[in-house]
Amino acid sequence: QAKHHGRNCYYVFNDQMSVDLAARLQLEAELKQAITEQQFSLSLQPKVCLTKRKLHSFEALLRWQHPTRGTVPPDLFIDALEQAQLMVDVGYWVFERSCQLCVQMMQQGLTDVVMAVNLSATQFLQVDLADNFARILAKYQLNGAQFELELTESTLVNNVSQTLDIMHQLKALGFAFAIDDFGTGYSSLNYLKRMPVDTIKIDKSFIQGMQDNEADLQIVISTIAMVHKLGLQVVAEGVETAENVAQLRYYQCDILQGYYFSRPIPETEINEFIQQVLTQQWPQALLQ
Ligand code: C2E
Ligand code: MG
Ligand code: MG
Ligand code: MG
């Protein structure tokens, strides 16, 4: 192909770039295959409400069961899905699968289940996003109020007026919004004011640092206070230790999520986990 662009073309490629390009094309081909062969699944990570001392919701996290490389984490393929313009389709699949799992858990007796779904910026470029979500909800007889949509700060800075428009349409369907990884993006407090956001998730880097690093601790304390003054809820992600739990309880964080309570649970193991929730073994035993 390169020769069509003239002989000088060879000077702009170096070996590393052609390797990168080949690897990217290979990854893209594998992702297309992953879609047709249904190699994606969801893992569900619970969040705990500290005041009610019970399950708050589940976050759906995308997993790729690669035929030879095993389970590939999303940080390694979400960008590639975006570049290959496959993220929108996969995003609808994630939402629909979340609906199916929600129904499955309700049938098991978990009546008030809430699912959190991560959305990427390109999904907000789809003007029919809310219509499509409404159609999928109707198919499963679910209500938007059973879902929380997690957005990163970078989504909120893209195409602000359209994003706001779509957020309002989704709000009208009952969906709640959370800002994910709060404090790591281009966070402008202005967005907090303008966007119909319900929840802030403090990024795990601050939670992991707060035990030993005074700056991280002060950021966590003041973020919790600010979020409460705005009348919103605050989640700490990446809670790994009992010390984290004690500190976050002391500073009145509302909701906790992290390996201390549970790793993301493969969808095939979710029934078993629900039994522990229904018999009140989880999370009570971890909150003594
Ligand atoms: P996120 O939404 O901020 O999800 C939290 C990530 O932290 C998850 O990684 C989770 O497994 C991990 N985590 C949870 N608790 C702990 C903990 O205590 N310690 C540590 N070290 N890590 C913890 P995961 O599943 O690899 O997902 C990474 C990111 O990929 C997510 O970050 C999210 O931004 C993105 N992602 C996942 N699923 C989807 C999806 O369906 N759509 C989109 N657009 N993005 C997704
Ligand atoms: Mg998230
Ligand atoms: Mg996060
Ligand atoms: Mg993240």
What pLDDT digit, counting tens, does each position of 40-51 carry?
999 999 999 999
**pLDDT confidence of residue 4:** 46
For residue 180 and ligand 1, the question of a CB distance below 6 A is answered with yes
The CA-atom distances, in angstroms, between 9 and each of 13, 51, 209, 282 are 7, 63, 48, 61
Q: Coil, helix or strand for 131?
A: helix
Position 7 pLDDT exceeds 60 = no
The CA-atom distances, in angstroms, between 33 and each of 59, 64, 75, 173 are 26, 11, 19, 33
- ipTM of this model? 0.98
Mean pLDDT value of segment 109-138: 96
Task: Give the side-chain half-sphere CA count within 13 A for 43.
Answer: 15
**127 Cβ neighbours under 8 A, 6+ residues apart:** 162, 166
Exposed e or buried b for every residue in 74-93, given b needs 16+ CB within 10 A?
eeebbebbbebebbbebbbe
Give the percent of the chain with pLDDT over 90: 83
Mean pLDDT value of segment 199-221: 97
Task: Give the side-chain half-sphere CA count within 13 A for 92.
Answer: 15
- Residue 7 tokens read as 């002989």
**60 Cβ neighbours under 8 A, 6+ residues apart:** 42, 43, 44, 94, 97, 98, 101, 115, 116, 117, 118
Residues 127-135: contacts with CB within 8 Å, 24+ apart? 127/162, 127/166, 129/166, 129/169, 129/170, 130/166, 130/169, 130/170, 130/172, 130/173, 132/92, 133/95, 133/170, 133/173, 133/175, 134/173
Decide if 167 contacts 195 (C-beta within 8 A): yes
For residue 203 and ligand 1, the question of a CB distance below 6 A is answered with no
State in Å: Cα 191 to ligand 1 middle.
22
**pLDDT confidence of residue 158:** 82
Position 9 pLDDT exceeds 60 = no
pLDDT band for 135, please (50, 70, 90 cuts): very high
pLDDT band for 2, please (50, 70, 90 cuts): very low
pLDDT band for 37, please (50, 70, 90 cuts): very high
pLDDT band for 187, please (50, 70, 90 cuts): low
Mean pLDDT value of segment 185-209: 90
What pLDDT digit, counting tens, does each position of 144-168 carry?
999 999 999 888 888 889 999 999 9
Give the position of tokens 């966007």.
195
For residue 185 and ligand 1, the question of a CB distance below 6 A is answered with no
Position 112 pLDDT exceeds 80 = yes
Q: How far apart are CA 8 and CA 15, in angstroms?
A: 15
**pLDDT confidence of residue 96:** 98
Position 186 pLDDT exceeds 80 = no
Decide if 253 contacts 45 (C-beta within 8 A): no
Cis amide bond preceding 283, omega within 30:
yes
pLDDT band for 230, please (50, 70, 90 cuts): very high
Pick the closest to residue 82 from 40, 31, 122 (CA basis).
122
- Average pLDDT in the chain: 93
Position 1 pLDDT exceeds 80 = no
**pLDDT confidence of residue 271:** 97
At residue 287, what are phi and psi to the nearest 5 degrees?
A: -120, 35
State in Å: Cα 7 to ligand 2 middle.
47
**pLDDT confidence of residue 12:** 58
Choosing from 48, 79, 89, 118 the residue with most ligand 1 atoms within 8 A of its CB, the one to mutate for a pocket test is 118
* For ligand 1, atom 10: residue with the closest CA: 264
DSSP 199-252: EEEE-HHHHHHTTT-HHHHHHHHHHHHHHHHTT-EEEE----SHHHHHHHHHTT
- Kind plus residue range of the DSSP H or E element containing 169: helix 160-172
Nearest bound ligand to CA 59?
2
